[in-house]
């Protein structure tokens, strides 16, 4: 592998700008933020934070798997919410995807706006094999 390798999968939405879904370096992968776009329909997955958070995590898992990693190997996430009042509902969904003994470190912030008017975006750093 070269020092830096772009990761791409059709199991997650294509990048909507000049960036890669993820970048892999030896031992690690850095994902771009995933938003709740269903890669099959190209539509936002639902209106609720729960529906959107679930699709974000499914997309994130797909990108990680394409990079030779998994949610179990995530060491840090950064979560962006359009409304911090969605924090508890987001946690309910997010927590269902990280069930191991050591969930990743995390930052969660409210932002003024997210792409396409979605409610949530998540990026992460994970270990690879």
pTM attached to this predicted model: 0.95
Range of the domain at 67: 5-127
Residue of 98, 121, 99 whose CA lies nearest to 109: 121
How high is the pLDDT of residue 1? 53
102 phi and psi, to 5 degrees?
-130, 85
Return the bridge partners of 80, or none. 109, 121
Quick one: CA dihedral 94, 98, 103, 105, positive or negative? negative
Which letter does DSSP use for residue 64 in this model? H
How high is the pLDDT of residue 2? 64
Distance, CA of 71 to CA of 78 (rounded, Å): 14
- The H-or-E segment that residue 122 falls in is strand 120-127
Per-residue pLDDT of the chain (129 residues; tens, 9 = 90+): 568 999 999 999 998 889 999 999 999 999 999 999 999 999 999 999 999 999 999 999 999 999 999 999 999 999 999 999 999 999 999 999 998 889 999 999 999 999 999 999 999 999 997
CATH number at residue 34: 3.30.1330.40
Return the bridge partners of 110, or none. 81
Number of structural domains the chain divides into: 1
């Amino acid at each position: 592998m070269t020092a830096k390798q772009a990761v791409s999968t059709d199991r997650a939405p294509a990048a909507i700008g000049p960036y890669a879904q993820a970048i892999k370096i030896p031992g690690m992968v850095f994902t771009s933020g995933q938003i709740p776009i269903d890669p099959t329909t190209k539509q936002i997955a639902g209106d609720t934070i729960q529906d959107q958070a679930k699709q974000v995590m499914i997309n994130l898992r797909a990108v990680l798997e394409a990079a030779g990693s998994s949610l179990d190997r995530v060491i840090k996430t950064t979560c962006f919410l359009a409304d911090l009042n969605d924090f508890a509902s987001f946690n309910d969904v997010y927590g269902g995807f990280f069930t191991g003994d050591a969930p990743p470190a995390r930052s969660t912030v409210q932002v003024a706006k997210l792409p396409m008017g979605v409610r949530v975006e998540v990026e992460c750093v994970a270990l690879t094999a």
